[in-house]
Structure 1
């Protein structure tokens, strides 16, 4: 970890910071050896220039520059590491202005309980006992929310404060596994002991991640994946593969400004357009994309949903839900046919592309429907296991694109 230093002396202007990198990292305002403010950014140079601009109108920001005689910065490879480094440095040095800037609102900590039979991972506003591990403080609740959510996708864990007799909701969607509620109901003591050990191993792995020890964790996941593949335990191997994918996202995640996000959305839309153009020669634009899915909990509660993407961004004001009216509808593609037909009877803007949750049966039915009502709209089905696209152009073709 290399620390770079810029001396600050009046007058401080943009030229003072010309050598700052436009990369992930942590920056530290100091007066001699006293830490005044510590922050992080995915673009150190832009963030410091933003502080400088705000100092013209905000007294607290002006005070940081007036009282600092040097700026230190540490470049890191990803925003995840910047987030952890910022938290550890704030905890270690207690900078004066990091406290003042919160206007009395406490920082967030990630708490890992140690004395519980099943250790828990929680977010709290302050450290208040010696029986738990604390990671932080974190200045952004949004960052903590993303971090916790991403951690659960990598290593599932329990957030319930009490153990009950039923498996929790998160266990059903794979975010709490093994679930303490399920473990407690096991009659086989040997299996129960194994599951408890596995749960605690998960917590130890998360603690390592929060300490910044990401490389050993990633190597361990790859090792498990290889062993499961050799044993031909493909279901477990897929689960570990998904954990690796989420873990790579976690250690490289970054937040975006609105402008950055707009550019990314445009680039993604352009990439999809270029992929589809050879398959749909008449596709001139990709402004409105409509996605359809059927939820069929029971024949009486079946509904169809329409999600709309406008100009590269999700447009929630255009979302629609359709209650299935046909009592004789027995299959998903019959229900889908009803939903698309009702959608086409409305005077909503014409979609440039329709995406269906389904494979060849769904695409075939909807393609025939669109042809029968004279609608020439590009059509794609997204099928799973294995993941593939079904293209409904002049003929049906199936392939797995490299996006």
Structure 2
């Protein structure tokens, strides 16, 4: 392998993104995506049995470039956009001479959402793509369907399996259902187009209107949609933004860190942040988690989980104290900022443990309901807008800690059930 290429590969990030292979003439020969850029690119040069097409491609690689993104969903959309832009030889060959695959939303009374090999289409038909494979296209549709159940079957008389699973609204049942479904497809178009901010703003307004009309169940459904978009996708950026500014992730992450420093009155930008959360069911199978962000991005190799020993009764404060005490007994690198998932009570529990270990580190807590930030020096919580970069960063690490704790808790429950 060329020494310059080897050096480039060694410096690739472990975050999600899109990688681009060039040949010795500077032509793009392949575009791919991965949740870990470094791991994926290294695999091309590590495995011996790559297959004839992949092996031929690897021999032609003369240069590598990458674009970092915030989520795998963004990587899928950006990969699609770059393939459409460059039409790389080996991406085309990988399709076995089939035409590119697209997501299509029909323009009729009940717009079915399907995949299609692009041919002649009406201008009014919404088409997104091309996507590199049917597997990746299904992956995108699966994510979308969990947020906005949609319809893809043509039989109006017989509900499909997805209706029974709650993943299809069955718009054939009434005129009202059709009208509501048309609204849903418009939201899906916005999601696929990367217009997340506009979509969330619209959904929030819709949720407020339903709440004012005391239609609370419907308002809760819309709230769940907003939460799922923010949790799973956090903030989708239009693929064209990444193409225009390849350093977008680094730029936005630095912006969030600087904003966090100002909003919390920190003495320096927090390079390492740790967030703690507790998960249990009535005190049973209690778990604690420690999620770590390094330079504003998740650092999963540093995550830690704790099987809580305190089982006398449900007590989040005692459980949090135990998790933090066990963490501080270890000689792990200390963070520049500690975040606690919870309110004032959880914050006080964390401060008490830190005092026992003579640890003086800035610590805050983030309460879920109103996303209020509690600090040791202020009586009233800090309230930031949804658009605040600092709030988005705190939410990201809090959601990671919550996900990690819940997954371990479910694992312990399953283990206990089968035993």
Report the TM-score when normalising by structure 1: 0.55
Return the structure number with greater relative CO, CA threshold 8 A, min gap 6: 2
Q: Distance in 2 between matches of 1:127 and 1:100?
A: 18
Partner of 1:401: 384
Please list the CA deviations of residues 257-300 of structure 1 after superposition, one character each: whole Å capped at 9, or x if unmatched: 774422322221121112222xx5xx445121001111224533
Q: Distance in 2 between matches of 1:250 and 1:260?
A: 12
SS at match of 1:328: coil
Write 1 or 2 for the structure with the bigger share of helix: 2
Indicate the RMSD between aligned Cα atoms, in angstroms. 5.1
SS at match of 1:334: helix
Partner of 1:261: 249
What is the aligned counterpart of 1:138 among 130, 151, 172? 130
Q: Distance in 1 between matches of 2:152 and 2:327?
A: 41
SS at match of 1:398: coil
Please list the CA deviations of residues 41-97 of structure 1 after superposition, one character each: whole Å capped at 9, or x if unmatched: xxxxxxxxx99x967354989xxxxxxxxxxxxxxxxxx9xx89x98xx7xxxx9x8
Say whether residues 1:348 and 2:348 are aligned partners.
Answer: no
Partner of 2:213: 231
Q: Distance in 2 between matches of 1:164 and 1:152?
A: 10
Tell me if the contact between 2:150 and 2:185 (Cα under 8 Å) persists in the aligned partners. no
Q: Distance in 2 between matches of 1:290 and 1:211?
A: 33
Partner of 2:178: 197
Q: Distance in 2 between matches of 1:211 and 1:369?
A: 46
Q: State the aligned residue count.
A: 296
Unmatched segments (≥5 aa) in structure 1: 1-49, 62-79, 185-189
Say whether residues 1:382 and 2:382 are aligned partners.
Answer: no
Structure 1's 127 and 199: CA in aligned 2 closer, same or farther, altered over 3 A? farther
Considering only CA atoms, is the larger Rg found in Structure 1 or Structure 2? 1
Q: Distance in 2 between matches of 1:54 and 1:335?
A: 56
Q: Distance in 2 between matches of 1:358 and 1:335?
A: 13
What is the aligned counterpart of 1:108 among 73, 90, 101? 101
Q: Distance in 2 between matches of 1:269 and 1:127?
A: 43
Q: Distance in 1 between matches of 2:346 and 2:334?
A: 20
- State the 1:251 CA deviation: 7.5
Partner of 2:298: 314
- State the 1:146 CA deviation: 9.3
Structure 1's 318 and 134: CA in aligned 2 closer, same or farther, altered over 3 A? same
Tell me if the contact between 1:150 and 1:250 (Cα under 8 Å) persists in the aligned partners. no
What is the aligned counterpart of 2:25 among 56, 59, 72? 56
Q: Distance in 2 between matches of 1:302 and 1:380?
A: 23
Question: How do 1:354-373 and structure 2 match up within 5 A?
Answer: 354-373=338-357
